[in-house]
Structure 1
Amino acid sequence: MNILLTGGRAPVALELARMLAKAGHRVDLAESVTHHLCRKSKAIAQSFLVPKPNQEPDAYISALSRIIGQRNIQVLLPTCEEIFWIARGLTKLQSLCKVISAPLEQLRRLHSKWEFIRRVETFGFAIPQTQIFHNTKEWANVCNEEHSWLEAGFVLKPVFSRFGANVQLFGPDCSVADRLKRLQTNHGITATPAQPWIIQRYIKGRPLCTYSVAWEGVVVAHSAYEVEYTANQGACVYYKQLQHLQALNWVQSFVQKEHFSGQIAFDFVESYEDGILYPIECNPRATSGVHLFSPEDKLVEALIHPEDLSQQACRKPQTNQAAMLSIPMLAYGLNKERTWAAICHWWAQFVSARDVIWQVRDPLPFLEQIPLMLDAWRLSHKQAISITAAMTYDIEWNGEA
């Protein structure tokens, strides 16, 4: 089949491109930045530079439509946050080819950290206590309320965010005085009606992530991993398959109730106190759980023909091979680990994991990280934002209609 991928800057896009190419498909790529991981990959037949989705959304959809027509595309597979802009033009694109995306309204309620928690509560699952505020007056009301449910700590974060950006954690390691100081109205919070924030009870426990592919409420592929090493307390950079039946059952139940089709991922905390699995947020798109699948696990079939697998057993990674982003993983070990035991444990994980970008037969994506990061660094300085934020600056979606 002829497949068009988007979001080529992401390691998961490169992973999927290689899987698709190995399965015999022709893979094209549409990206809105000049340098990206897939640009010089042997898995990509042709790479197209398209308008920036959140700056020229209509032009972006038009460009994808032209590529679909010119290249006889049969499947459009978004990978990153550009999926929301693609869903905005879903009617037009679906008239041209199969698009692996849920409708925008459904994506919104899952991506919103507030609407998702409310949805989870409606379905009868346990949730961490959460409040929303849209302005400084509502924040003042939060500060003046009784705070017993925040005694164990709390988390402040925008309703729409990604990779832990702008998340402010005041957990058990933070003194009570600092937590109470934060809960004062004179500490500015940038919440607005268009960009609200939430305050959420901190759950002390083991952080877990899942990635699944679903078809009409049935999970056809699934992976899970524990969050052990992260980039600046944000995205996880080391992945090892975790057999967690409770997480699988939770995902299957939620997906069935939501009647979801497409790629969907969840972040959980498994409470040390009561063992309850608390959902924190949902990403209705591709995430790093993709890296746990090998080509032999046939994730490609689950993505392209999920309807054929809905009556079969859920596909899971069959190898115990760990995966990692080697550069941030290396940075973690050099900067974060302080004890000899921790360094030894990190080193054992590092040397036993495969790098998700480097391949001997496809080496250029590894080198492409240099211009990609330089572009992000320049943009971060120009816009006075973090490098992480610069990586998604042109594709991030914050609830726009």
Structure 2
Amino acid sequence: MAHPPVNVLVTTSRMPFAVDEIHKLGETGNVVTASDTFAAAPGSHSRGAADHIVTAAPTQETEQFIADVVAAIAAHDIQFLLPMFEEVFYLAAHRDRLEPTGATLFFPDFDTLAKVHDKVTFAQLCRDLGLPVAESITATDDAELKAAIGHWDHWFARAAFGRGGLDILTNSGPLADESSPDDIHPTSDDPWLVQEYLEGVDRCSWSVVRDGEIVLHSTYEHPLEIDDRGGIVFESVDAPETLDAAQRIVGELGWNGQISFDYLKTADGVHHMVECNPRPTAGCTVATSEELDAALFGPVPDGPVVVPAGRKKMIKEAVLRDMLLHLRRAKADAEAAKGAKGVYSQDHDHLPLLYTVLSLQHVRQYRHALGLDKASREDLVAAQFFDVQWDGTAIS
């Protein structure tokens, strides 16, 4: 590390990419305080975290959450605020309360975040920049949804503010007919985007951006997914198309922070833009500790550092779960995970793996908060998000 240690506050430490970044920031000598809404969040117990705190829930207790963050910045002499999930929207909406702390706020303003988070406005931004994106129709009521899905023989629909493989409707692919159009009721405040279903390979990218310039970038695929909704093995690939697309977008927006994109690569090699996550994703796991530290705190390089193809990480416990639940594909799962290192269990840093089990209490909290009385296959995913997500509604 070619700079003095930086005091970093990492929020929403439960996420696998938060676990990864906390470990790496600590490994390179920075002083990390990890925070989340519950004490058992795995990243809070990484060796990379010098301390950890519990805050109020951003989604349900926004005012107290901001107060908790301001207090943590003062108490831990924080120099750099690094959000990991959609709590970034609540932080950005109250930027005026955070700026006087003097900490570097490594995220854009609220309007810029919202523009790329909303799938409808993101698709239009891509068209304006000449980037490939599937033809789409926006539905804001039941009649428009019915008409839109009748526009194509094979279609795919998503809530404008849906995340994590949830809020999806399609008549094609592995998730076909899991939900019924009769159960979906779009509104002007909660629109759905309907597109033609395209066959191809899912790819994702993650970038660290400083003042509109990408300084670190990775592209990756998911050799293995959990319930067809999210990757649990991540392998870096060579795809200059994603770097070009990401740079066009962040340059246009003057982005400062981490940002991630999803693409669908069709047989002709075109990378169609799918959605943006204005935060880190699993792409950070295939970067090294030194690469991440330099991207965040080092001099801005002459050009972006691009993670080479062939690096591989996995969420080991999710792989084992899939093998046990689907014994017939255990051999294929093992092959997909071959050569991958764990995200939650890294060298000399195994407590996050233990706390993934202890943090299952958060699923119960999620079910209690929503008054659910019947288990769902989506509970494990939904519980990751319910108290740190933003669904497009006004933030107080």
TM over 0.5: yes
User: Is 1:70–2:64 an aligned residue pair?
Assistant: no
* 1:394 CA displacement: 0.5
- Answer with 326-335 or 354-363: which moved more: 326-335
Counterpart of 1:302 (choices 295, 298, 308) is 295
Q: Structure 1 residue 320 and structure 2 residue 313: aligned? A: no
Residues 1-400 of structure 1: pairs in structure 2 closer than 5 A = 1-96=6-101, 97-142=103-148, 147=151, 150-151=152-153, 153-171=154-172, 187-272=182-267, 274-296=268-290, 298-305=291-298, 308-309=299-300, 311-317=301-307, 320-336=310-326, 338=328, 343-380=330-367, 383=370, 384=372, 386-400=379-393
Whether the 8 Å contact between 2:345 and 2:353 is mirrored in structure 1 is yes
Equivalent residue letter for 1:328: A
- Could you tell me whether the CA contact under 8 Å between 1:229 and 1:332 is conserved in 2? no
Percent identity over the alignment is: 24
Task: Tell me the CA shift for residue 330 of structure 1.
Answer: 2.2
The RMSD of aligned alpha carbons is 2.3
One-letter amino acid of the counterpart of residue 12, structure 1: F
- The CA deviation at 1:68 is 0.7
Equivalent residue of 1:38, what SS?
helix
Q: Determine if contact 2:156/2:194 at 8 Å carries over to the other structure.
A: yes
Q: Report the Cα distance in structure 2 between the residues aligned to 1:238 and 1:5, rounded to whole angstroms.
A: 24
Which whole-Å CA distance do the structure 2 matches of 1:343 and 1:366 have between them? 21
Q: Tell me which moved more, 200-209 or 134-143.
A: 134-143
Q: Distance in 1 between matches of 2:61 and 2:365?
A: 21
- In 2, the alpha carbon distance for the partners of 1:44 and 1:89 equals 26
Matched residues in 2 for 1:106 and 1:120: separation? 14
Amino acid at match of 1:387: L
In the TM superposition, what is the alpha-carbon distance from 1:354 to its structure 2 partner? 0.7
Alpha-carbon contact 1:135-1:190 (below 8 Å) kept? yes
Structure 1 position 278, deviation (Å): 0.5
Distance 2:368 2:71 in 1: 34
> CA, structure 1 residues 41+227, in 2 after alignment: closer, same or farther (shift >3 Å)?
closer
Q: Work out whether residues 380 and 387 of structure 1, in 8 Å CA contact, stay in contact via their aligned partners in 2.
A: no
- In the alignment, is the contact (CA less than 8 A) between 2:174 and 2:228 conserved in 1? no
CA shift for structure 1 position 101 = 0.6
Normalised by the length of structure 1, the TM-score is 0.89
What's the TM-score, normalizing by structure 2?
Answer: 0.90
* CA contact 2:323–2:330 (8 Å) conserved in 1: yes
Gaps of at least 5 residues in structure 1 are none
Q: Where do 5+ consecutive residues of structure 2 fail to align?
A: 1-5
Write the distance in 2 (CA, Å) between the matches of 1:47 and 1:203. Answer: 44
